[in-house]
Structure 1
Amino acid sequence: MSIADPQQALRRVLLATLPGVAAMFWLYGWGVLINLSLATASALLVDTLVHRLRGRRVSDLSSLVSAVLLALALPPYCPWWLSVAAVTGGLLLGKHLYGGNRNPFNPAMVGYALMLVMFAQPMSQWPGIHGLDLLTGLQRVLGLHGDAPDAWAQATALDTLRTNKSLTIDELFSGNPAFGYFGARGIEWVSLAYLAGGLLLLRQRVFSWHAPVGMLGSLFVVSLLCWNGSGSDSHGSPLFHLLSGATLLGAFFIVTEPVSGPRTARARLLFGVGVGLLTYLIRTWGGYPDGVAFAVLLMNLAVPTLERLVAPKQTAVTP
C-alpha cells in the first residue's frame, strides 16, 4: 500500500466497502448485516484468544478487513456456523499459523475456499433479489426454520451459465431471473458499487493500479477471445464476466491485499493477470461457478516466482 500507516489504509478499505454493503443490503436485506455481525465478532474473538495465548497485545485491523470481505462473499442468510467457521478457519490457517505478519495466503480466500470445499450445498444457497425481514432472517440463520417465500433460493447466473446445455444466451437473459441487463441480476449494481469504492481507494493511493488492471484486463481479453456470441455453448460476454460474481470485489479488495501479494509493481501486474486468467478457466471449465477465491490462492503460491521473474538481474563481478 502507498499510505505510510497500514492501519490508516485498512480503515480506508473498510470505509470503501460501504457502497457495496449498502447495495447488497438493498438487494438481499438483513442477511448481509447478519453475516457482517457474525464475521466481525468471530474475528475479534479469534484475534483476542490468539494474542492472549501468545502473550501479546496487538491492535490490528487486518483481521477485521478479512472478516468483512469474507462476510460479503458468503451467501446472505447462510447458517451462522458457516460464517463463524469461515472466519475462524481463514484467520487461523491463513494468518496466525504463519505468525500473523507475512502470511503467504489471503486469509479471506482461505476461509471461503475451505467452506466451498467442505460445505458446498449451503455455499450455493443464494437468495433471489428479495430479502427477508429481520426476524425471519435471524430464524433462518440460526436454523429455526423461518418461513421463506417460494423459490427463495436460486442458482446464480454464473452457475446457470456453466451448466446450460440447450438455451441461447438471449433466452437465458430473457427468461431466467438470475440474469440482468449485462450480468447477474442485481449483482451488476453491487459490482458497480465495489467499483466506486475501489476507484476511491486508487485515488487515495491506498494501493497501485497494477493488480486490479491486470486482473480485469486479462479477464476481459480472454472472455472476449473465447466469446462466441449468443449460442447455447457460449461462455458469456466480457461484460457478463466483469459484472457477475466476485469479479470487482476481487479486483479492488482481494488481489490488492499487500501481505500475501507481491511487493513490486510488475509482479503485482503479473499477479493480477494470472488471477483473471485462472478465474475465467475455473468458471468455464472448472468445478466451481465463480473461481476468484481459488485463482487468488493459486497465484499466492506463485508470488515468490513472480518476484524472481521481475527482479533486476545481477551482473556477475569477475574477481
Structure 2
Amino acid sequence: MNYVKTAMLMAAMTALFLGIGYLLAGTSGIAIAFAVAVAMNVFSWWNSDKMVLRMHNAHPVDENDRSGLRQMVAELARNADLPMPAVYLIDTDQPNAFATGRNPENAAVAVTRGLMRSLSREEVAAVVAHELAHIKNRDTAIMMVTATFAGAISMLANFALFFGGSRERMGLIGTLALMILAPLAAALVQMAISRTREYAADREGAMICGNPMWLASALERIQQGAARIDNNTAERNPATAHMFIINPLHAHSHDKLFSTHPSTENRVAALREMAGSISPRTEARQQQGRDHDGPWG
C-alpha cells in the first residue's frame, strides 16, 4: 500500500510540474519543464549524495575503524542482502542519522557522533538497519528526485512574473497565486512521500536488525536529543531535514501538515505492535536488548 501511495504522490508531483510549465508557456512550456526536470535530475542523480555529505561535514569511516561501527554496518548489510555502503561520521552532538545514494551499489550511511555517544549498541544497530532499509527500498533515490522536482517547481513559479504567457492566461493575481501555491503544494507532496517512506523503513529496519523494540527505543532517545540539541548545519539547510531518521529541526512531536516526519509516538506504537506479533525467541532477544542500555563503546 505504501508503494502505491508513493507512486500516486510522485505522479502528482510530476503533474504539478508539467502543469506549471503549461501555465507559463502553453504546450511548449511542458516541453521546457520536462527538459529542465531531466537536466536537474541527471545532475542530482550523480552529485546529490556527495553534496549532502559535504554539506553536513561528514567524514568517511575507514577500514581502521576501532569503534566497531563499520563492522556493524557490514553485518547488517549482509542481513539485508545489500552491498556494503560507505560509512560516514558527522561532527554534531545531536543524535541522528541518514542514508543517501542513487542506488544500493552507490549508497552511504551517515551517523552523528551524538548518536554514537548517547545510544546503546543495539539502538545504534537498529538505526543503521533503518537507514539500510531506505537504501534497500530505494527511498534515497525517490527522495532525491522529489527534492529536485520541488526545487524546480519553486524555480518555475518564481519565473512566472517574467513570462507573458502566464499573465495572459491567469492575470497578475493568478500569477502571484501560482508563485505562492505551487511551491507550497510541491512541499506538501514531498513531505507526504517522506512520511510514507519512514513507516516502511521502520518496519523493514526492524526486520533487518531482528528487534522492533531496539528501534522503538532508539527513536525515543533520538527524539529527546533532537528536541534539545541544535544541529546548526541542518538548520541552515532545512531542505535536507527529510533525510534524517528524526527531524533535526526541532519539529513538533505530533503529526502536522508541514512535518517531514511522522509522529515519533506513532512510529514507536507501530513498532511495539509489530513486536507483539513476533515469536517467543525474538521476544527473548528484545529483553536482552533492554538489558543493555549502556552507551556505545
TM-score by length of 2: 0.33
- Higher relative contact order, structure no. (Cα contacts within 8 Å, ≥ 6 residues apart): 2
More helix by share: 2
More strand by share: 2
